Amino acid sequence: MIEDLTGVIGRDNEIKDAIHHLHRHRNVCFVGAPGGGKTAVLKALFENWHALHPKSSSLYVWSCKPTKWLFSEVAFKLYRRDVLPAEFNTLPVEAFQKRLNRMHYRDISRLISAATTAHPEIIFFLDNLDSATPASQSLIYTLLEQGVTICAATTSKRGLTRLLWQFQLIDLQPLKDAHIRRFVDSWIENRHILVDDRKLFLEHVTYKSAGNPLACEQLLRYFEHEPRIKTPDIRKLYHEAGRKELDLTPIIFIFFGVSLALRFISRSISHKELYILTSLFTASFVVIRFFAFRGMLKERS
């Protein structure tokens, strides 16, 4: 759902930077947190590149594992573009797939290498680069050595340090609050949903998603089949990827306990100033707790 928009809303600069690098035959890799919109941006860039260069040869592969699947998928996409050696390009689709299934992944790697050597202008768009196995990485290294341009996306840099040295890294930061609000507004309008408190809903989704596109999508999906969004339901919104709130309750209770203890100590040693100070703190705590408890009961009702 949000992937249709995330590649455009709030990501124009990243796409422009990537196109700038690709025009200069530099490898590009989008990095960022899980759910940060890397796949959406990669797809948007793939579509933009096709629009700018309709005659260019570019391939989109959505995963780098399992190993045999990656090699077979790349080889099949090259076959569809008639860039494999003649003995393979002349085969019917079914015959080619059968032959491909019988081949070892090393043989497929040599087949891909022969095609990309003859056509170095091909651009590969690889998603989920962090799922690449050592064998998959060997294919990527081979393509890079042959001058093939690769645009990829990854969540983790663990185990990919050397590979990522070959790329211009573009870090996808969380979306700005204004972009999240803009998307949520359009989501409400498109679905004609009645919202009791639209401003509160916008603020809660924006705050709880913390600029994470996937978190925003999942928060909205909670209300996807609701004709009306009620205020109590809005207040219950929560997502693990969202902003974390610091719970000060234990610290407050510790201070209250210390204050209470000091109050009794001050009485035993006849320390008037300390007794007054701790009494004020204890009274303040009791008053704050009373009104906080009343607010919680009112909200639940």
Across 67-81, 138-152, 156-170, 244-258, least confident range:
244-258
Q: For residue 30, what pLDDT is reported? A: 93
Q: How far apart are CA 194 and CA 105, in angstroms?
A: 55
Average pLDDT in the 208-228 region?
A: 87
155-211 pLDDT per residue, tens: 877 778 888 989 999 999 999 999 899 889 888 888 888 898 899 999 889 988 888
> Is the pLDDT reported for residue 244 higher than 60?
no
On the question of pLDDT at 50 being above 60, the answer is yes
24 or 254, greater pLDDT: 24
Of residues 156 and 214, more confidently modeled: 214
pLDDT at 297: 53
Quote the pLDDT of residue 7: 47
Which residue type occupies 107? D
Query: What Å distances lie between residue 58 and 61, 136, 146, CA to CA?
Result: 10, 19, 16
Query: How would residue 6 be classed by pLDDT, with cut points 50, 70 and 90?
Result: very low
- Mean pLDDT (whole number) for 20-38: 90
The candidate with the shortest Cα–Cα distance to 63, out of 6, 130, 137, 143, is 130
- 3-class DSSP state for residue 119? coil
Q: Residue 207: beta bridge partners?
A: none
Q: How would residue 27 be classed by pLDDT, with cut points 50, 70 and 90?
A: very high
The answer to whether residues 72 and 95 touch, using CB atoms and an 8 Å cutoff, is no
pLDDT > 70? residue 300: no
CA pair distance 127, 30, nearest whole angstrom: 9
Q: How far is residue 11's CA from residue 30's CA, in Å, rounded to a whole number?
A: 12
Q: What is the mean pLDDT of the chain?
A: 84
Q: Are strands 149-154 and 123-126 parallel, antiparallel or unpaired?
A: parallel
Tell me the pLDDT band of 247, cut-offs 50, 70 and 90: low
Task: Please report the pLDDT score of residue 75 as a whole number.
Answer: 93
Q: How far apart are CA 215 and CA 243, in angstroms?
A: 11
Q: Is the pLDDT of residue 133 over 60?
A: yes
pLDDT of residue 295: 58
Between 14 and 290, whose confidence is greater? 14
Mean pLDDT of 282-286: 79
Q: Could you read off the pLDDT of 88-126 as tens digits, one per residue?
A: 989 999 999 999 999 998 999 999 999 998 888 889 999
Query: Is 3-171 a domain of CATH 3.40.50.300?
Result: yes
Q: Check pLDDT > 70 for residue 1.
A: no
